[in-house]
Copies of this chain bind each other. A is one copy, B any other.
Amino acid sequence: MTSARPLRADAQRNRARVLAAAEKVFAERGTAASTEEVARAAGVGVGTVFRHFPSKEALLQALVVERLARIAVDAREHAALPDARAAFFDFFTSVVRGSATKLELADALAELGIHPNEAVATVAEEVTEALSALLQQAQRAEAVRTDIGVSDVIALLAGASQARRYAPDDRPLAVILDGLRVPSAQ
């Protein structure tokens, strides 16, 4: 996921620990938290963090990539389900619910349009593709209104995740899901 070296087992483990620690620390104290703090949370020295991620920005991007990659997988899995309607809405719900505890999806998605980093661009495309399939199936099944596209769904995913910060229950999400349905298909 970085380049081509196989990476020794312990190095691989350290990379994962740093990533996990970073997610936790940045989620709890914001992305302004220091690299030192991430290192401490991971139980390694700062040097190790910088060995795996050449800069703080790279670390942040790796986090985004990881998140998006999971979303892409999730989208693909849902796209393979028989019920297109349920597939779409379940996917949407799971992404929004999942974003609550982690580094805000909003921030993660924000990177999409801001930093044209190769790795990020790649997963972004994967997400877009998988989501596109999912959306089109649902639209074809007349489960989702046809006047919106993938970018709108992404925007709404970000919006719904953000809404969750203010009202951590499912009502705002329900409103958005209802707005997405085909009018007649109540």
**Footprint of B on A, CB under 8 Å?**
1, 32, 40, 43, 106, 109-110, 112-113, 145, 147-148, 151-152, 154-156, 158-167, 171-172, 174-180, 183, 186
Question: Would you call A152 and B179 a contact (CB within 8 A)?
Answer: no
Question: Would you call A175 and B172 a contact (CB within 8 A)?
Answer: no
Contacts of A179 on B, CB cut-off 8 Å? 174-180
A32-B32, A43-B1, A180-B179 known; A164 and B171 CB under 8 Å?
no
A163 to B175, CA, bound (A): 14
Question: Would you call B167 and A152 a contact (CB within 8 A)?
Answer: yes
A165 to B156, CA, bound (A): 10
8 A-B interface contacts by CB (under 8 A): A1-B40, A156-B176, A159-B163, A174-B179, A175-B179, A175-B180, A176-B176, A176-B179
A161 to B159, CA, bound (A): 7
Contacts of A183 on B, CB cut-off 8 Å? 178, 186
Name A2's closest neighbour in chain B (CB-CB). B40
* Residue from B40, B145, B162, B167 in contact with A162 in the complex, judged by beta carbons closer than 8 Å: B162
Contacts of A1 on B, CB cut-off 8 Å? 40, 43
Name A148's closest neighbour in chain B (CB-CB). B171
Name A163's closest neighbour in chain B (CB-CB). B159
Contacts of A112 on B, CB cut-off 8 Å? 166
Name A178's closest neighbour in chain B (CB-CB). B179
Question: Would you call B163 and A158 a contact (CB within 8 A)?
Answer: yes
Contacts of A151 on B, CB cut-off 8 Å? 166-167
Question: Would you call A148 and B166 a contact (CB within 8 A)?
Answer: no
